[in-house]
Amino acid sequence: MEPYYVHDTCVQMTELVLPQHTNQLGNLLGGQLMHWIDICAALAGYKLNGRVCVTASVDRIDFHTPVHLGEVIVLYATVNRVFNSSMEIGVRVCKESYADKTQIHSNSAYLTFVCLGEDGKPVPARQVVPETEVEKRRFEDALVRRNSRLQTP
């Protein structure tokens, strides 16, 4: 398989936070955000491989600032690194204001997905090539996170 560049895996999703997405305080439910993060990451894996990619694990989701009812969020996902059939996908979430054209980083997440064949079994995933310094750092950091995950009982 020919390698893809990290930027070729980018997926952007925009969501409007509606009442059914919020808790009693009017803040976006963590579970709803996790659902959107999972979808965005799955699409990045699918974009890379042209195959179904499923969630194997979620390393972490960081909540930097609350997201409120009526706000717009934009999710950005990219495949940071491919191992064999598994890949680390990073998702960055920003609150976006259309009025003043600003974005505030609200959440970050790292997920591991597995590429599946038509029989539902893992198959080798297409490799990604990092080009920029940021992509190269994320590529190296993904290996550190993977090694840590594999050492945890």
**What gap in Å lies between CA 128 and CA 5, rounded to an integer?**
5
In this predicted structure, the answer to whether residue 142 has a pLDDT above a threshold of 70 is yes
**31-50 mean pLDDT:** 97
Nearest to 8 by CA among 103, 127, 107, 146: 127
**125-129 mean pLDDT:** 95
**60-83 mean pLDDT:** 96
- Cβ(15)–Cβ(28) under 8 Å? no
**What gap in Å lies between CA 58 and CA 141, rounded to an integer?**
15
Domain boundaries, the chain: 4-151
- Look over the chain and give the mean of its residue pLDDT values, rounded to a whole number: 95
Flag whether the pTM goes above 0.85.
yes
pLDDT of residue 86: 96
Please, what CATH class does the domain formed by 4-151 belong to?
alpha beta
pLDDT of residue 149: 84
CA separation (Å) from 25 to 19, 36, 67, 138?
A: 11, 20, 11, 35
60 band by pLDDT with thresholds 50, 70 and 90: confident
**127-138 mean pLDDT:** 96
**What gap in Å lies between CA 64 and CA 66, rounded to an integer?**
7
Kind and range of the H or E run holding 151: helix 133-151
Tell me how far apart the terminal alpha carbons of the chain are, to the nearest angstrom: 33
Segment among 37-46, 80-89, 107-116, 143-152 with least mean pLDDT: 143-152
In this predicted structure, the answer to whether residue 1 has a pLDDT above a threshold of 70 is no
152 band by pLDDT with thresholds 50, 70 and 90: low
* Count of residues in the chain: 153
**What gap in Å lies between CA 150 and CA 153, rounded to an integer?**
8
In this predicted structure, the answer to whether residue 54 has a pLDDT above a threshold of 90 is yes
